[in-house]
């Protein structure tokens, strides 16, 4: 049974925590000169964003943790979800720190990032495999609640899903308010489905993600006063991935998180095409930059992607039910 009271309070607490911590942390980031460096090869309209404080994902993580722990419903599932948020957020934080503080523009090397991500993903999936009544089974969309047993393939497959999800959310974070707005919508889907399936603590965490994203948009909407950085995007990816894995619903991510999927797919297509043919399919990838370069204003791209996420969320609910 959907409990509005259960999920409303964490959202409000996370919203309040984010709105309170934001004005305190953003000036600190400015004083420390934790400013974003915009790449020259990106859209020229983004050059004005040079120096905007980054690593604001700390604000998101604070809101989510505070709201979740204050709910009084702490259990193993919640702790694993928070472990995922903090763990992947930590990988992003180290990457941000190297880029922003140590002034090494590429941050962590790709293999270093992937090692950290695969370690956290494996631990989360192993927990689910060992504790869930469904074991190695996953919910198949549009099948009226049918679970398919993947057997030995469950762990490697789900680990890949987690890592892909985290990196896809990271790729989505390229425009003011894009990743936070899309994840806000995705979190509503998981609040509803977690409540319906009886995963109370996961519903609470996702509610906290919703509230934190809503509060963060106060500072991240165009023109952004702060960027979440890899700290925030990977933490949000960890939240989405953990919710799906714990509910054995990892196959729902490409539907409800269709924007994430499209962003990653556009990069894969672009790189593959260029390597094989020397030609680019898009003017720039990820795909949100393509729309900018065909003449859409940044706010239009974000608005259309938000609207698309709403439609995908509705489709995902139909697929789930």
Per-10-residue mean pLDDT for the chain, 321 residues long? 74 97 93 70 65 91 97 94 98 92 80 96 97 93 94 97 98 96 98 93 97 97 94 98 97 97 97 94 95 95 98 96 81
Name the DSSP letter for residue 199.
-
220 is in an annotated binding site: no
> What DSSP designation does 132 have?
-
Q: Is 3 annotated in some ligand binding site? A: no
pLDDT score, position 299: 96
CA 256 – CA 189 distance, rounded (Å): 8
What integer pLDDT is reported at residue 69 of this predicted model? 96
> Which residue, among 72, 98, 68, has the nearest Cα to 83 in the 3D structure?
68
Return the H-helix or E-strand segment holding 7: helix 4-31
This prediction has a pTM of: 0.94
- Which residues, other chains included, contact 203 with Cβ-Cβ below 8 Å and sequence gap of 6+? 3, 6, 7, 190, 191, 194, 195
Residue 156's pLDDT is what?
A: 97
Q: Which of 116, 96, 65, 102 is nearest to 230 (CA)?
A: 96
Angle between helices 76-100 and 110-131 (to 10 degrees): 180
* Residue located via tokens 């974000």: 302
Residue whose structure tokens are 């706010």: 299
* Short-list 189, 161, 208, CA closest to 14: 208
Q: 115: how many CB neighbours lie within 10 A of its CB?
A: 13
What pLDDT, on the 0 to 100 scale, is given for residue 38?
59
8 Å CB contact between 317 and 191: no
Are the CB atoms for 17 and 215 separated by under 8 Å?
yes
């Amino acid at each position: 049974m959907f409990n509005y009271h259960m999920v409303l309070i964490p959202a409000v607490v996370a919203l309040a925590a984010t709105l309170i911590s934001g004005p305190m942390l953003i000036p600190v980031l400015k004083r420390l000169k934790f400013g974003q460096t915009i790449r020259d090869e990106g859209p020229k309209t983004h050059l004005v964003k040079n120096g905007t404080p980054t690593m604001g994902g700390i604000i998101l993580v604070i809101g989510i943790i505070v709201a979740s722990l204050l709910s009084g419903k702490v259990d193993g599932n919640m702790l694993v979800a928070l472990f995922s948020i903090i763990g992947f957020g930590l990988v992003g934080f180290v990457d941000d720190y190297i880029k922003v503080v140590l002034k090494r523009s590429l941050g962590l090397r790709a293999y270093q990032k992937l090692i950290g991500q695969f370690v956290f993903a494996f631990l989360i999936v192993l927990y689910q495999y060992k504790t869930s009544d469904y074991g190695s089974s996953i919910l198949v969309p549009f099948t009226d609640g049918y679970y398919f047993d993947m057997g030995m393939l469950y762990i490697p497959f789900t680990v890949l899903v987690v890592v892909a999800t985290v990196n896809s959310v990271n790729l989505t974070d390229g425009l003011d308010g894009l990743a936070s707005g899309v994840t806000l919508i995705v979190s509503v889907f998981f609040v509803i489905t977690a409540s319906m399936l009886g995963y109370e603590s996961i519903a609470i965490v996702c509610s906290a993600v919703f509230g934190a994203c809503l509060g963060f948009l106060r500072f991240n909407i165009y023109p952004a006063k702060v960027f979440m950085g890899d700290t925030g995007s990977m933490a949000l990816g960890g939240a989405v991935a953990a919710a799906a894995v714990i509910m054995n619903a990892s196959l729902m991510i490409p539907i409800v998180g269709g924007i994430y999927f499209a962003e990653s797919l556009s990069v894969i297509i672009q790189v593959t095409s260029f390597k094989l043919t020397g030609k680019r399919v898009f003017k720039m990838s990820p795909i949100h930059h393509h729309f900018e370069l065909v003449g859409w204003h940044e706010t239009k791209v974000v608005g259309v992607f938000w609207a698309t996420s709403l439609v995908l969320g509705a489709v995902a609910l139909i697929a789930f039910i």
